[in-house]
Amino acid sequence: MSNIDLQAGLRDHLWMHMASHDHLFTGGRTPVITHGEGHHVWDDKGHKLIDGLAGLFTVQVGYGREELAQAAYDQTKKLGFFPLWSYAHEPAIELATRLAAYAPGDLNRVFFTSGGGDSVESALKLAKNYFRLTGKPGKHKIISRATAYHGTPHGALSVTSLPDLRNQFAPLVPGAHKVPNTNFYRADDRFSGDEKAFGRWAADRIEEVIEFEGADSVAAVFLEPVQNSGGCFPPPPGYFERVREICDEHDVLLVSDETICAFGRIGSMFACNDFDYVPDIITTAKGITSGYAPLGAMIASDRLFEPFGKGGETFYHGYTFGGHPVSCAVALANLDVMEKDGLNDRVATNSLAFRNTLEKLTDLPIVGDVRGEGYFFGIELVKDKATKETFTEEECERVLNGFVSPALYERGLYCRADDRGEPVIQLAPPLTCGPEDFAEMEQIIRSVLVDAAEKL
C-alpha cells in the first residue's frame, strides 16, 4: 500500500487501541511504523527513532532477532497450534519448567494466557476460587493502589485505579478497594525525607483496609514491583517486607503484577527477586517473548494449586491461544537470547548510568523528579519546582499532549508522555541500550522540555 492508501485504510477501517481518531477526519495523519532494527524503529516517512519504550515495555532483546523468527518458523512446521484444554504440548511444558525455575519460593505452577490483562484476570479468578474451595467463600475483595493500571478485562479493570479507563464500562466487578501508592515525591512533609517511614505508612494502609472490610472478606492484594501508571513508583525500603507480613497475618494473597517489570526490566527475570519478596502469584506477559508473539502467564504457588491437583477440582478458566505452541517456542528462544547476551547483567550494570544521565534533566525548571529502577524510569514534570505545583488540565492538554509528545517523536524519540496521574515522561528502552543511547535520549528530552517550559 502507498502512504496515502495506508492513511486511508487507517482512517476508514483500523480501530486503534487507547487512541483518539478524530484528527484522521480533519486532514491529520498517524505515523505507521514500518520496521525496526536493534533499538530503533522507522515510520512510513523514513523517520528513524530510538524506541525509548521498547514498543510498550516489551521488546527486551530489540528488533530483528533472527533467532526468535527461526524459533517461530521451526515450531510452526512441527506444530502450528494446539490448545492446552485437557492436552499439553512440548513447548508449553518446557517453558513452564523454565519459568518455575526463575520464580522464587514454591511458585511452581504456570497457567498460560494471551497477555497481561488476561493474566491479572486469571489471578483474580484463582484467588476467589481458591478461598471458596478451602472453606472461606466470603473472601472475594481485592486491594490495589491508587493510579495503578492492571489491564482492561472487566475484572482486571476493577483492579485498575484510573477513572477515565473505568467509567466507560461501569458497573465493574464489585469489591475492589484502593490504597495509596508509593509516590515518595508527593509524600507528606511529615515523613521528612524518610523513605522507610513512608513505605511503612503506605503498607499499613493496606492493613487498614483489610481490617475495615474484614479479613474474612479480602482475597488478594495486587501490586506492581515498580508501579507503572503515574510514573514509575519504586517501593520504599521495607515496603514489600511489611506487605508480606500483613498478607500472611490476614490470610490474604499477595499478587506481584509483573506484566512490565519481569524479564530483565528491573534486573532479574522476576522483579520480586530484585526487591526480595515472595508473592503467592506472579502475573506477567510482554517481555516473556519480547513481543515477537503474544503470550502471558500466571505463576502460582504449590499451595494455591493443591485443590486443583491432588484435590481433584477443575479451574474452569482458559484461553484458546493461551500457551500457543509457537508463542512458547518464541519465549524459550527469547530467554536463550537474554541469557546468552547477558541482558539481565547489562541492566544491573547500566541502570545507575541511566539514572544519572536522566537526573541531569533536573536542572530544568520544568523537571520535578526522576525516579524508577533498572531500565524503567519516569520524569515528572511540574509547573513550579519549589512548590511541586502541577499543571492544570488545560496546560496538560496543551503542553504535554499537544507539544511534548509530538515534539519528542519529531526529534527522534518514541516514548510515553503520560498524564494518568501527574504528568510524566516514561522511558523503558530495549535492554540492549547502553550509555551512549541514554545520552542521546537525554539530549532529545532536554531540547523538547526547554521549549515546553517557554510555552508555559
Condensed to tens digits (0 to 9), the pLDDT of residues 141-182 reads 999 999 999 999 999 999 999 988 899 999 999 999 999 999
User: pLDDT band at 204, cuts 50/70/90?
Assistant: very high
| Strand blocks (E) in 46-88 | 48-51
Residue that wins the pLDDT comparison between 317 and 416: 317
Residue 351 has a pLDDT of 98
Angstrom distances, CA of residue 438 to CA of 36, 129, 353, 379, 442: 19, 45, 8, 14, 6
Residue 418 has a pLDDT of 82
CATH fold of 31-64+342-454 reads Aspartate Aminotransferase, domain 1 (3.90.1150)
Residue 419 has a pLDDT of 79
C-alpha cell at 131: 478461598
User: pLDDT band at 273, cuts 50/70/90?
Assistant: very high
Q: Give 352's contacts (C-beta < 8 A, 6+ positions apart).
A: none
User: pLDDT band at 398, cuts 50/70/90?
Assistant: confident
Residue 395 has a pLDDT of 87
Q: Does pLDDT of 283 surpass 90?
A: yes
Residue 372 has a pLDDT of 98
Residue 36 has a pLDDT of 98
User: pLDDT band at 192, cuts 50/70/90?
Assistant: confident
Q: What residue ranges of the chain are covered by domains with CATH 3.90.1150.10?
A: 31-64+342-454
Q: Using N-to-C axis directions, what is the helix angle for 325-340 and 66-78, rounded to 10°?
A: 150
Residue 421 has a pLDDT of 80
State the Cα–Cα distance between residues 366 and 369, nearest whole angstrom: 10
Q: Does pLDDT of 396 surpass 90?
A: no
Residue 416 has a pLDDT of 86
Average pLDDT over residues 295-319: 97
C-alpha cell at 270: 522476576
Condensed to tens digits (0 to 9), the pLDDT of residues 1-37 reads 888 999 999 999 999 999 999 999 999 999 999 999 9
Residue 201 has a pLDDT of 98
Q: What residue ranges of the chain are covered by domains with CATH 3.40.640.10?
A: 67-341
C-alpha cell at 96: 513452564
Q: Does pLDDT of 252 surpass 80?
A: yes
Closest CA to 106 of 299, 292, 258: 299
Residue 174 has a pLDDT of 93
**Architecture field, domain 67-341:** 3-Layer(aba) Sandwich (3.40)
Strand order, beta sheet including 367-373: 367-373, 376-381, 424-427, 416-418
Condensed to tens digits (0 to 9), the pLDDT of residues 117-137 reads 999 999 999 999 999 999 999
Residue 400 has a pLDDT of 85
* Percentage of residues in the chain having pLDDT higher than 90: 93
